[in-house]
Amino acid sequence: INKNSVLLYKRICSSLLPNNYYDGFPIHTCCSEGQLETFQRVMGILNTVVPNCGICRENIQLLTCHAICSEYQDQFSEVHISEMNPKMVDSIIFFIPFEFVEIIYNSCKDVKFPNSMVSITTFMCTVGQGECNAEKFIHSLLTYSTFNITAKIIKSPVLN
């Protein structure tokens, strides 16, 4: 990625940088400058929606950074290619640990829209789906993507 993209990447997805990262070190990412710019605009909207809860924003941003920019996407996603145009992606399935889904949900569930008593999770969960929970919240978040993205929630096995 170019210098402008590096600055944007460091501002938006610094959580994906290695702990020993230093300026000038190459960044390995799967997102383009255009995707980073779009992501920055979307995060700007999210900042106006939930201005008083940094951890909720940060967790949604972390999920989005991994989904869009992680160089390890092949380890937690399944891409379905269009039959009509093999150069196009039809849909993506992201495999997300239930524990992470709960962390995101719990960090957002008590956050209210400014000047409102409506929680962000209640608003984001699809109307008619009953009471909102962690899984419904993540599925609803992904419906706002410009891509056809589905979450497959992975529940860890119980160890004896």
- Residue-wise pLDDT for 54-93, tens only, equals 788 888 888 888 888 888 888 888 888 878 887 777 788 8
Number of domains in the chain: 1
Decide if 114 is inside a domain.
yes
Decide if 38 is inside a domain.
yes
Q: Which domain holds residue 26?
A: 3-154
Decide if 61 is inside a domain.
yes
Beta carbons within 8 Å of 34's beta carbon, 6+ residues apart: none
Burial class of residue 43, CB neighbours in 10 A (0-12, 13-18, 19+): middle
Decide if 49 is inside a domain.
yes
Decide if 36 is inside a domain.
yes
Residue type, 112: K
CB 53 within 8 A of CB 107: yes
pLDDT tens readout for residues 103-117: 999 998 888 877 777
Please state the pTM of the whole predicted model.
0.78
Decide if 119 is inside a domain.
yes
CB 148 within 8 A of CB 138: no
Q: Are strands 149-154 and 89-97 parallel, antiparallel or unpaired?
A: parallel
Decide if 159 is inside a domain.
no
Distance CA 31, CA 93 (A): 17
Decide if 144 is inside a domain.
yes
Residue 126 has pLDDT above 80, yes or no: no
